[in-house]
Structure 1
Amino acid sequence: MKAVIQCGGKGTRLRPYTMVLPKPLMPVASKPVLELLLSWLRRNNIRDVYITTGYLGHLIKSFCKDGEQWNLRIRYTEEREPLGTIGPLCMLKDELDEPFMVINGDVLTDLSLSSFAEYHRRQGNLVTVATKLRRTKTEFGVIEQTGGRIKSFKEKPVLTNLVSMGIYCMDPGVLSYIPMGLPFGFDDLILCLLAEGVPTGTFLHDGLWLDIGRIEDFQTAQSLEWDEQSPAFEEVAVVA
């Protein structure tokens, strides 16, 4: 299976650090996020990788080169103008001729890609989204009211939501929904598929997932110990 890693974003949530380094090259312990991500793909038996680049893309190309150091074959696309999170796939229409993975370049996870891909195949979806239950503490007291009178009050409640992990399994047919050369995000794609009644699904992951673009997750990643001998990923254990 082929994988596309989206690395064209500007990483605004991690500024000022990302003014000199693209987000995928931000260090976690002693290694860039992208290196950990590529090692995880290799351990999940991925061989062919496409990296979409834009902002500071020359640094990503200089670091990864052709992927030989990870026993991968890496090729690149380059955005002259930002194309959003899904738009860059339009440049790979001739390459993605079988089910493929699309992965944000700022995630760390122990998700089994073989289990994910098999689930996608069995369900018959055009797109399957890897998801995680995430608990979020709101910053404000939440009021419910009717006709201007308070009915209930919760002080900074914790909400649980099913969120996208930024990892997707897609069939090649999805490429026909992606416009050529125009900004197009994953939200645009999902809304388009839902409007057309195209089968889309979710795959719930109960293991590790960190979104390095969030300051909190980036800091959490620094407090973890990364074991390079893990068969599935750089296995993680909290440092005592």
Structure 2
Amino acid sequence: MYDTQHLAPVVHSVEPFFVSVDATILDAIRAIDAGTQQIALAVDADRRLLGVVTDGDIRRAILRGIELSAPLDEILNRTPVVCRYPAPYDELAKTLLGQQRITRLPAIDAQGRVVGLYRTEDLLDEHFARDFPVVLMAGGLGTRLRPFTDTIPKPMIDVGGRPILEHIIRRFVSQGFKRFYVSVNYLSHVIKDYFATGEAFGAEIHYLEETERLGTAGSLRLLPHELEGPFFVMNGDLLTAANFAAIADYHLETGAEATMCLREYTVQVPYGVVEQNGGRFVGIEEKPMHRHYVNSGIYVLNASILSLLPENGYFDMPSLFDGLMKKDPSAAAVFPLREYWCDIGQVSDLERARSEIARLAVF
């Protein structure tokens, strides 16, 4: 959509993204989720821009251990890149298509009041992130979910009236991702008969046929050799409300060769933990909680790192990341998921997912 008078994309409405400068990080998350533009704008009573916070800023804050109840000011960017409205196309192209990886550009008037928001995707035929291919790993045996997997592959187990794999594909498609490669092995005909070419689901699906167990990274050898740029890899037994567009943008923003999505995992010690020093009592902490980040089974990889794969044999994703780190210790990024995520690996996980899906509006 273009404003022919100014030869520039029309600005988008910004009211849903507004927060006050004394808001909390959680308030900003709510604004970002409501606005669906991966940005929140801190303004005063007259709509004058005081700062911005992006979805990526919040993810990085989570990794630093900042509580969501903390003041937004702790992570607020008070000197964001902005433009005057109306902005000429050349200026927008230089900013939104340049090397700074800015995808959202607030537009302000002469008094510093927010008029709207320019977006990178409006300068392109299609948002660059939406062209990411998606590789889904659906070839596992699912032995821990027997007898459910005796006659169907694990990704085809029903949760809320649909196979797990259908939930995954539909969520990607709803965010603009269309190209899929599904790695299959065990009872592969069940998956191929159900999804076929993917046309019925608004997708384009190709199948990677594993003749032996290759692992989550080894099966990437089956991808077309002409594949270029970044692509998603995701386990086919996950139920998640992840924002894949935000993950894609984060990967591009960091300039990483590989991004691993993480999920916070909390362990509570069921006893009082005693601190001592040289046999003397120092203190006791009752039933402390320990927080860790675990691999969520969702990744973004640049096609260039496929050269690190061995020519044959089983090879998993942690081994690929290890190889990448040996090559360049700064080449990998991490992205913390704050959305719903459930790894359906055991019967108890399946039962939980089936009970939870009814109250999750995103499925």
TM-score calculated relative to the size of structure 1: 0.85
Rounded to whole Å, the distance in 2 between the matches of 1:22 and 1:106 is 10
- Counterparts in 2 of 1:95-110, with a 5 A limit? 95-110=226-241
Amino-acid identity (%) = 34
| Deviation, structure 1 residue 215 | 3.1
Larger relative contact order (CA 8 Å, sep ≥ 6): 1
The DSSP-based 3-state class of the residue aligned with 2:256 is coil
More displaced stretch, 39-48 vs 95-104: 95-104
Residues 210 and 219 of structure 2 are in contact (CA less than 8 Å); yes or no, is this contact kept in structure 1? yes
Structure 1 residue ranges (4+ consecutive) displaced by more than 3 angstroms after TM superposition: 136-147, 150-159
More displaced stretch, 217-226 vs 206-215: 217-226
Residues 159 and 357 of structure 2 are in contact (CA less than 8 Å); yes or no, is this contact kept in structure 1? no
The change in CA–CA distance for 1:17 and 1:146 in structure 2 (over 3 A counts) is: farther
Partner residue, 2:198: 67
Aligned residues: 231
| Deviation, structure 1 residue 214 | 3.4
The change in CA–CA distance for 1:43 and 1:226 in structure 2 (over 3 A counts) is: farther
Residues 52 and 77 of structure 1 are in contact (CA less than 8 Å); yes or no, is this contact kept in structure 2? yes
- Counterparts in 2 of 1:183-202, with a 5 A limit? 183-198=314-329, 199-202=331-334
The change in CA–CA distance for 1:74 and 1:145 in structure 2 (over 3 A counts) is: farther
Partner residue, 2:31: none
- Counterparts in 2 of 1:137-156, with a 5 A limit? 137=268
**Which entry has the higher C-alpha Rg, 1 or 2?**
2
The DSSP-based 3-state class of the residue aligned with 1:167 is strand
1:43 alignment partner, one of 168, 174, 188:
174
Rounded to whole Å, the distance in 2 between the matches of 1:226 and 1:95 is 41
The change in CA–CA distance for 1:12 and 1:140 in structure 2 (over 3 A counts) is: farther
Letter in 1 for 2:172: L
Partner residue, 2:30: none
| Deviation, structure 1 residue 55 | 1.1
The DSSP-based 3-state class of the residue aligned with 1:52 is strand
| Deviation, structure 1 residue 153 | 9.2
2:350 alignment partner, one of 215, 218, 221:
218
Unpaired runs of at least 5, structure 1: 228-232
The change in CA–CA distance for 1:146 and 1:92 in structure 2 (over 3 A counts) is: farther
| Deviation, structure 1 residue 169 | 0.7
1:25 maps to 2:25 = no
Letter in 2 for 1:102: V
The DSSP-based 3-state class of the residue aligned with 1:20 is coil
The change in CA–CA distance for 1:114 and 1:155 in structure 2 (over 3 A counts) is: same
1:205 maps to 2:337 = yes
Unpaired runs of at least 5, structure 2: 1-131
Letter in 1 for 2:234: I
Letter in 2 for 1:217: D
| Deviation, structure 1 residue 234 | 5.8
The DSSP-based 3-state class of the residue aligned with 2:216 is coil
The DSSP-based 3-state class of the residue aligned with 1:60 is helix
Partner residue, 2:253: 122
1:83 maps to 2:211 = no
Partner residue, 1:111: 242
Residues 143-173 of structure 1: CA distance to partner in whole angstroms, max 9, x if unpaired?
Answer: 99999xx999999865321011111011111
The DSSP-based 3-state class of the residue aligned with 1:181 is coil
| Deviation, structure 1 residue 19 | 2.0
1:235 maps to 2:362 = yes
